[in-house]
Structures are given as structure tokens and as C-alpha cells.
Structure 1
Amino acid sequence: MMNKSRTDCTDIPVIVLQDGDMRVSLLGYGAITQGWWYKGQPLILGYDDPTEYLNDPFYLGALVGRVANRIGGAGFDLDGTHHALIANEGSNTLHGGHEGLSRQFWQDEQLSPREAVLVHVSPHGVGGFPGAVRFEVRVRLEFPRLTYSISAWPDRPTPISIAQHNYYTLGSAQGISEHRLQLASDRHLELDDQGIPHGGIVDSASVGLDFSASQPIGQVATDLDHFFLFGTGGKVAQPVATLAAPSGLTMTVHSDQPGAQVYSAAHLSAPFAPHAGVCIEPSGYPNAPNVPAFPSIICTPDKPYHQTLMLEISEAVA
């Protein structure tokens, strides 16, 4: 089946996975997680109508890339060639630009009541990125865990860094200011005035952004949008973040990525409210193609892309 474009189809496929008290709804557009529920409580923000995602400016639940986060100056050099990208946030490229993975239809297949796979083949030159790439996302629901296994196979060297962009609420309708966040991190990337990292690393405690111990999000930062560096050595077995709601629901995040953008959704707007959810987006370093000191995100036919993200829900016993 050929990949569909935005203009030739508005019939968005939906896959629902169920295991015990947990349910997940996935879309064949943007590889979006439309909803995730535990005992009927919504754990993430989402639209009831799948077609609302066609014009969603917030990347709700989407798989973002080819390169997640920001690439400064909307371009990069690779093997002596400059690649000009499409700028979609001022002079920079955010989440792969207007033609990013979150704006594409994906082939979808439900493998079992608890597992689905979504596939998208991105042609050479989309958004200015070199190389044709086959992207695959396997989503498994094994109560109380939700796991994303993300892979990509390019036909030539190209940057790839994917992030899953859920806005986590953990059942709260009052926002996430009182949610407690703990990160396996005491450092984050220094940003310029456009939110672009250029190589500097900041001690988080020195600027009042220390989540190495559990802290209420709203008491630490009202406009949190920073890339925190993990100290777990890329082992999925080690948790990189814990988010706890006042209700007693807790989500533990496991990832093999070197860090994550944490965004407190200060710029969410109607039909949602600012700080209605929080994004925890494990990925490679933002702007890595332009900062030699950062770990490389260049993938090749001999070195394809793989990421595992596992989310686990627990509930405090009254």
C-alpha cells in the first residue's frame, strides 16, 4: 500500500489496543497516540475526533522527526554538503519541519489485541533531509506498561532522532503544576534566545531547574522547555523519569536515549489550557548535526536507528 498524503485522505485509521484495565488508541496519521487510559482515566491529552490532528499545532501524541526538537538555522553540513531544511519556527526547523513524520500518513497493522505496527517510507529530500528512510514503530500494551520500539533504516547517511510527544496528565483535569517530577539528571543543555543549544551544558541546580529529587513542576518552573541529560548510560532497565500526580497515579519512564526535552506546555491554547499536560520526550541531542561536541545522530545503512521507550503506570494503595 502506498503512503497517503494529507490532501488525498481524511479517513484516518484507528487501532485500539487493550490489556486489562489499560487501553490505547493509535492513529495511522503521525503515528499518533490519540489516547491512553487506565481504569477509564485519560493519561494523556488528545482530541476525540481524529481529523482534528490534521491541523493540530501542538504535536499532541505524535511521533516527531526525522529530527526531533530544533535544528538551528534550518540546515546542516554532512560530508561536505550543506543541506537546507524547511524553517517552520522562525529561522529554525522544529520536529522535522512542515513535512515531518507527524504530518504523514502511516501504514498501520494490528498484530494482536495488545500490539500494533506503523510504517512510513520517507523519500529522499523530504523537508530537505537526505536519504530515503523506512520508519517503523511497534507499540505494545502489556499492563501496566506501554512500550514504543522505534526503528529507521536509511539508504545513505542522514540525521535521525525521534521523540514521542505525548502530553501526560495522569488523569488530572487541573493541569500538572502539582505533579511531582524526578529526572535521572542534574544537567541540561544551555540554550540561546531562540531555544537552540550550541554546546554549553548547565548544572541544573545552579539555575533552579533541579529535578534530581522529586519536585512539584509548578514550584520549580512555570515555563519548562529544556533538554535534560540522563546519567543512566542508555540502559532501558534504568528509569530516567518519574511523574507522580496528586491522585496517586505515577508514571515511570524508561529510555535508552541520552536525554529528553521536558516541556510544561506553557504555550498550549484552546481547546486546551496552558500546563494541562507535560511532555517528556527522550531523543538524541537537539541541533546535534551542527554541534560536533554532541553525540552524533547520523545514521547509515550499516548503522540504522533504534529507540525503546517504556512507560509504566502504578497506583498508590490507599
Structure 2
Amino acid sequence: MANGPRKIASHDGRDVLETTLTSETGVLISVINYGAIIRDWKVPVAGSLRSVVLGFDRFEDYLEHNSYFGAIAGRVANRIAGARFTLDGKEYRLQANEGMNQLHGGERGLSRQVWEMEMLSGDAVRLTLTSPDGEMGYPGRLDVSVTYRLAGNALTMDIAAETDAPTPVNITQHNYFNLMGEGDIRNHTLWLAANAYTVRDADLIPTGRIEPVAGSHFDFRRPRPLCDTQGEPIAYDNNLVLDTGRHRSAPVAVLTAQDESLKLMLKTDQPGLQLYTGSKLNLSVPGLGGRHYPRFGGLCLEDQNFPDAINQPHFPSCVVMPGQPYSHWCEIEIG
């Protein structure tokens, strides 16, 4: 069953709506139509409910803090070098919002707008948004939809987008997970189906090189905690190259709480996954339930195409064509 949608605020002359999806196993997932954000995700643990994502109780805090908590990021998630690219012989200059580069589609990316919200059934909601031709510098109109479906402990996300002109697209979920519900994630254990990673420079832009994870601190082919041998958390913000030839039903990431009370399994049809361990977090503003999120307070597992793929011809193509819609499937199960 679902509650809502109900109005919680106004923004840009639009109603900001929230709905809560509820499953037969007692999972509660609250979704707002600003940024298609998953505001809260509660899972039953030992007779009580635990929030396993970072978020805010107040809508206004999403406007004031740019951490992308729970948002859908795009048009092109992650980074585009120099905030520019060339497509069909024409150079496009984008709005730069991280130094000289563009991050997550610019200041008015998908995560910064009010979407339309439609309840499909008791446990499913669809959000839609149209990004006009030229927005943030991108060519072509882009019609985007995100459908969240909750069944048991698993949330499925189906992302689709259609364009009327060739344009780059890379859309991802940007949830910050903390399976303990508090503290930091250094003692969470992570496994990834990734044998390689894309090398980046100091500005987090891929150099174009792809290296094996063997012998590096990006090797999660065996489960291990997100800390070094001294117990200090490691600052990851890197794209891992997911193994090819995997079956859709096989997880590419398994995250386990330090006390093993909860486990997260992520499945996706995307070629990459950005691992970010929240090293830039240090929010004085209260989060869910009045919590204050410390540095390393949550980690992101952003299933995606490779960063800056539009400028790296040997990376998987991110160009979407008219009549050939973008599609992206992801399932996250926590229990």
C-alpha cells in the first residue's frame, strides 16, 4: 500500500509532493518529486525500523546542501571534463559547476527540479520530467521517467529517456547508504563484481586508462571493510568497471553492516559503478530523525556509464539517438 502523495512544500511555483511506499515485509520508502529523491528508506530490524539512507526531514535542507542525498542525477551523472564535448562535429559548452568541469548535469540538473508524480499502484510510483533543448548546454529535448517499484525488501528502479536529437545521457541513483543507521561506514564490508577501474586525475576526471584492480585498494573481489589496516576510513570516489557477461539476477555489489544485521545487494544493467564513501560530508544540519551525518557517514553505489564517456571514444557510448530510448534498470534489496 502507499500513502500520499501529499504536499510538503512549494518550489519554483510547483507543489513538492511526497509519497511512502510500503511492502508486505514492512519496508517503508519515502519519495519526493523534487529530484525524484528517495528521502527515507526504513527497514525492519529486531522489531524496530531503521533508516538506512541519508536524508533530511525538512525539504528546505535539500535546497541548501548539495550532497545529492537520494536524488536521481543527470542528464549526465558524474563529471564531464572541461564542461564541453563534441558531437557530430559540433562543440557543446555546458554549464560548469565543479571548477572547470560539469558534475551531475549542472546547477539545474535532474536532481534540482520538480518532477511530475503519478501513483501506478500501491507499491509503485512514476516520476516524469522534460528537460528542454539547450538546458545546461545539452542538445535536444529529453523526456525522462523514473519508476520505483517496491516488493518485499527490494526496490526496482526503471529509468527511461527519449530525445529528439542526438545527446549524451547517463542517469543514476545517488543514495547514500548506512546500514547501521548511524555513525560512519568504515566497518561496513563490501564486495564488488569488478576486475578493473577507470584511472582518474586529481579533479576526478578519467585519464582514459583502464587498469586491473588486482594489487590496488580498488580490489573488492573478496569482501573487505572500507577502512585501512589502521581502521581509518578510505576516501573512495572512483568508477569501477563491472564484470561483463554477468546474469541480470546476479548482484554486482554486496554491502554488509558491521554487525551483519543487514545486507544490501545491488543489481544493474549498467557497465560501471561509482563508489563514493562520503569523504566530503560534514553536515551540521540535522538529518533524518535529528541525526548529524559525519564525514564518511554514508556511501554511494552509483550504477552508471563511465564518467566523461562522451569525451573518451573507447568508453561505452553514452549517446542516445531519436527513436532509440535510453533505458537503465537497477534493483536494490536491503534486509
1:276 aligns with 2:297: yes
Match of 1:222 in 2: 234
Match of 2:33 in 1: 28
Match of 1:54 in 2: 63
What secondary structure is seen at the aligned counterpart in 2 of 1:178?
coil
Match of 2:146 in 1: 137
Match of 1:247 in 2: 259
1:13 aligns with 2:24: no
User: How many aligned positions are there?
Assistant: 309
1:269 is aligned with what amino acid?
N
Deviates more, 1:93-102 or 1:50-59: 50-59
What secondary structure is seen at the aligned counterpart in 2 of 1:218?
coil
Quote the Cα distance in structure 2 between the aligned partners of 1:257 and 1:304: 15
8 A Cα contact 2:93 2:137, kept in partner: yes
Quote the Cα distance in structure 1 between the aligned partners of 2:228 and 2:193: 19
Match of 2:288 in 1: none
1:37 aligns with 2:37: no
Quote the Cα distance in structure 2 between the aligned partners of 1:144 and 1:7: 34
1:101 aligns with 2:101: no
Quote the Cα distance in structure 1 between the aligned partners of 2:202 and 2:135: 28
Cα deviation for residue 84 of structure 1 reads 0.1
What secondary structure is seen at the aligned counterpart in 2 of 1:207?
coil
Cα deviation for residue 150 of structure 1 reads 0.4
Cα deviation for residue 6 of structure 1 reads 4.7
1:66 aligns with 2:78: no
8 A Cα contact 1:22 1:143, kept in partner: yes
Quote the Cα distance in structure 2 between the aligned partners of 1:46 and 1:58: 10
Quote the Cα distance in structure 2 between the aligned partners of 1:196 and 1:235: 30
Cα deviation for residue 49 of structure 1 reads 1.4
Question: Deviations 1:110-165 (Å, cap 9, x if unpaired)?
Answer: 12221000000110000000000100000000011111100001111100001100
1:308 is aligned with what amino acid?
W
1:22 is aligned with what amino acid?
V
What secondary structure is seen at the aligned counterpart in 2 of 1:205?
coil
8 A Cα contact 2:278 2:297, kept in partner: yes
Quote the Cα distance in structure 2 between the aligned partners of 1:232 and 1:276: 31
What secondary structure is seen at the aligned counterpart in 1 of 2:215?
helix
Residue 264 (structure 1) aligned to one of 270, 274, 277: 277
1:85 aligns with 2:94: yes
Question: Deviations 1:254-278 (Å, cap 9, x if unpaired)?
Answer: 0000011000000012132111110
Quote the Cα distance in structure 2 between the aligned partners of 1:87 and 1:123: 18
Quote the Cα distance in structure 1 between the aligned partners of 2:311 and 2:17: 37
Structure 2 unaligned residues grouped into runs of 5+: 1-9, 286-292
What secondary structure is seen at the aligned counterpart in 1 of 2:159?
strand
What secondary structure is seen at the aligned counterpart in 2 of 1:127?
helix
What secondary structure is seen at the aligned counterpart in 2 of 1:12?
strand
Cα deviation for residue 208 of structure 1 reads 2.4
2:312 is aligned with what amino acid?
V
2:124 is aligned with what amino acid?
E
Quote the Cα distance in structure 2 between the aligned partners of 1:6 and 1:190: 39
8 A Cα contact 1:15 1:25, kept in partner: yes
Match of 1:121 in 2: 130
Quote the Cα distance in structure 2 between the aligned partners of 1:55 and 1:296: 34
Given the two structures, how large is their TM-score scaled by the length of structure 1? 0.94
8 A Cα contact 1:36 1:42, kept in partner: yes
Structure 1 unaligned residues grouped into runs of 5+: none
8 A Cα contact 1:239 1:254, kept in partner: yes
Deviates more, 1:105-114 or 1:176-185: 105-114
Cα deviation for residue 81 of structure 1 reads 0.6
Cα deviation for residue 234 of structure 1 reads 6.2
Question: Deviations 1:163-188 (Å, cap 9, x if unpaired)?
Answer: 10000011331211000000001211
2:317 is aligned with what amino acid?
S
8 A Cα contact 2:183 2:294, kept in partner: no
What secondary structure is seen at the aligned counterpart in 2 of 1:206?
coil
8 A Cα contact 1:236 1:256, kept in partner: yes
Quote the Cα distance in structure 2 between the aligned partners of 1:234 and 1:197: 24
8 A Cα contact 1:6 1:103, kept in partner: no
Quote the Cα distance in structure 2 between the aligned partners of 1:255 and 1:48: 29
Match of 2:85 in 1: 76
1:178 aligns with 2:202: no
What secondary structure is seen at the aligned counterpart in 2 of 1:209?
coil
Cα deviation for residue 209 of structure 1 reads 2.1
Query: What is the root-mean-square deviation in Å for CA atoms of aligned residues?
Result: 1.4
